[in-house]
Structure 1
């Protein structure tokens, strides 16, 4: 009887060890830090250039040559680059160059959404581009009065393009760029 009890206990132990403790080990999925940003406050920006606009009060603006600007977001490691060019009866070339700059990102982009912008009261017309995917820039725009002035803007992050990880910051800055575009006035 003792032999049967020992044999039964041995078989039972083997069964428990084989089936009882087996767990499927699954790797944890990659996660990203949740980034929340406070509500943007805007201020008017004006200098000797032939246009004015509103920008995020937390951003840092630096003038470049020929009425170009960099608007930096130090906490997000991002910069909006603004470029001004006089039209000089060459609006078609300026439009073609602005569109070409956006569509150079089509290789890495999943989609490029175009949003026309029209403000006939201020004579500001343009296009806002939202570039989706792992492209170098996520938002670009151009505005013009079609006779004298032409302004382009694009945002770049100082990080490897990974849209999932920078999406909160990209969305925040996209809203700032749209605000800049909507509040732009010619002098």
Structure 2
């Protein structure tokens, strides 16, 4: 028994050293995952051009945005979409309604715009929402700014409450990556604000 104790000790020490060295090697050779990263987005310098076509409204939009007819099944006259050619991850949808000097129609359009916005926010469980009511050139303007994973992060409607009602909304197909798209969202939002600053109804 006396001769076997040192032998067992040597065997235990041998396996212990093997485990230590093997664990060191495994740590060196093991794959260490890196934090998620996103492609750097190069955006062109903002430049604008006047909206062309026979529309009851006018504004300056980004020259990088192609104006196309809204092809949805609910589309009406003068509904358009601004599609960014170098930026395929954001679109601006423009919808238009004629009020015809009917207060009930005006309130109906306001309620519809409100429902569309809040339904999208509630469905996506947005973390925040802010509304700012403004007035410019005799028009009422309501902004809706939402934060979180929502398809519509910024929109507004503008109306003279008598004849015209227009809603502009920024849509982001990949709403689950809004944090990574922050530069695009800001870029498009700035374009929408320029559209509003140059906005006017045609007589």
TM surpasses 0.5? yes
TM-score, scaled to structure 1: 0.81
The structure-2 alpha-carbon separation of the partners of 1:20 and 1:45, relative to structure 1 and needing over 3 Å to count, comes to: closer
Q: 1:17 maps to what in 2?
A: 21
Q: 2:45 maps to what in 1?
A: 39
The structure-2 alpha-carbon separation of the partners of 1:13 and 1:117, relative to structure 1 and needing over 3 Å to count, comes to: same
Question: How far did residue 123 of structure 1 move?
Answer: 2.0
Question: How far did residue 130 of structure 1 move?
Answer: 1.8
Distance in structure 2 (CA, Å) of the matches to 1:128 and 1:182:
13
Q: 1:4 maps to what in 2?
A: none
Q: 1:58 maps to what in 2?
A: 64
Q: 1:115 maps to what in 2?
A: 132
Give the alignment partner of residue 139 of structure 1, picking from 133, 154, 164. Answer: 154
The structure-2 alpha-carbon separation of the partners of 1:39 and 1:115, relative to structure 1 and needing over 3 Å to count, comes to: farther
CA contact (8 A) 1:42 1:56 kept: yes
Distance in structure 2 (CA, Å) of the matches to 1:166 and 1:104:
22
Are positions 1:95 and 2:107 aligned together? no
What are the equivalent positions in structure 2 for 1:152-167 lying under 5 Å apart?
152-159=167-174, 161-167=176-182
Question: How far did residue 27 of structure 1 move?
Answer: 2.4
Gaps of 5+ in 2: 1-9, 71-75
Q: Tell me the alpha carbon deviations over residues 84-126 of structure 1, each in whole angstroms, 9 at most, x when there is no partner.
A: 101131211111111111111222111122232321xx22221
Give the alignment partner of residue 151 of structure 1, picking from 140, 160, 166. Answer: 166
Q: Tell me the alpha carbon deviations over residues 128-180 of structure 1, each in whole angstroms, 9 at most, x when there is no partner.
A: 22221111222211001111110011122333532122222122111111211
CA contact (8 A) 2:156 2:168 kept: yes
Secondary structure at 1:128's aligned position in 2?
Answer: strand
Are positions 1:85 and 2:89 aligned together? no
CA contact (8 A) 2:140 2:158 kept: yes
| Cα-Cα RMSD | 2.7
Larger-gyration structure (1/2): 2
Aligned residues between the structures: 179
Distance in structure 1 (CA, Å) of the matches to 2:45 and 2:79:
27
Distance in structure 2 (CA, Å) of the matches to 1:162 and 1:66:
33
Question: How far did residue 26 of structure 1 move?
Answer: 4.5
Gaps of 5+ in 1: 1-6
Q: Tell me the alpha carbon deviations over residues 54-103 of structure 1, each in whole angstroms, 9 at most, x when there is no partner.
A: 10011100245411111111332232110110113121111111111111
